[in-house]
Amino acid sequence: MPYYLILGIVTGIYARYFVIISQKVEHYLKKLSLSRLRKAMLGGAILSLLCVLFPPLFGEGYDTVKASTNGNTQAIIENSFFRYFEIKDWTIILFLLLVCLLKAFATSFTILSGGNGGNFAPSLFAGGTVGYLFALVCQQIVFTDIPVTNLVLVVMAGAMSGVLYAPLTAIFLIAESSLGYDLFIPLMIASVISYLIAKWFSPISPELKSMADQVKALRINTTEIFFLPFTVRIL
């Protein structure tokens, strides 16, 4: 249980980082005031560079998650420039850390520069990578008997819960897709902690914030229209 309690906190912080990067990229692209074509060209150029340097960022990333659960670290970096270095534990840790940090940028530029998609698959991939990274760090510190597959699955649910504000969906999705019904308690712990951390920073889901602001403005306008006849009578 200590693993999953710590993972819930780590995942909640990472989910908040994921959301903040998306907001920063959106603000940056709006500030540039580019046409749709130029915005697509800029996003495509950035994504091309990221995918060349870090191939796991390309596509959905499920193959990388599968390689992580199988312990096949060689398959994760075989197509990257890191393969030219001597493969050591610190090499894998550094590579996965950069993938986790840059996945938020890759997803944001994909969506906000005109591409199709959302945060569903990226949150699962990012969560699986964070879980595997956490397992490797624990193995390097002291612990050797680490349930790597369990950690990967639990953090996938936690990341999805914190990014999409959907803890129940994350819990049942991971449990059903992996047949890991014995992980219900760890899934609940990590997902709920991640969700509470996300709610603490922002009570409303970032994907629904613009809609909530429009509803709030509509309520204010409706109230002003309702009280306008009374104001005219008083005057």
Of 163 and 60, the structure prediction assigns the larger pLDDT to 163
Cα torsion 166, 167, 169, 170: sign? positive
Please tell me the distance from the alpha carbon of residue 105 to that of residue 47, in angstroms, as a whole number. 9
Q: What is the pLDDT of residue 230?
A: 46
CATH superfamily of 2-203: Clc chloride channel (1.10.3080.10)
| DSSP one-letter code for 57 | G
Q: Does the structure show a pLDDT above 80 at 218?
A: no
**Exposed e or buried b for every residue in 104-143, given b needs 16+ CB within 10 A?**
bbbbbbbbbbbeeeebeebbbbbbbbbbbbbbbebeeeee
Q: Does the structure show a pLDDT above 90 at 195?
A: yes
The CA-atom distances, in angstroms, between 161 and each of 15, 110, 130 are: 8, 21, 14
How many beta carbons lie within 10 A of that of residue 24, not counting itself? 13
pLDDT tens for residues 83-127? Answer: 777 767 777 888 889 999 999 999 999 988 888 778 888 999 999
Q: What is the pLDDT of residue 234?
A: 46
Q: What is the pLDDT of residue 213?
A: 63
Please tell me the distance from the alpha carbon of residue 235 to that of residue 233, in angstroms, as a whole number. 5
- Cα 78 from chain centroid? 24
Q: How many residues make up the chain in this entry?
A: 235
> Do 22 and 107 contact (CB within 8 A), yes or no?
yes
Q: What is the pLDDT of residue 212?
A: 66
Domain ranges (residues) in the chain? 2-203, 204-235
- Cα 99 from chain centroid? 12
The CA-atom distances, in angstroms, between 48 and each of 34, 60, 65, 228 are: 19, 15, 21, 56
Q: What is the pTM of this model?
A: 0.82
How many beta carbons lie within 10 A of that of residue 97, not counting itself? 15
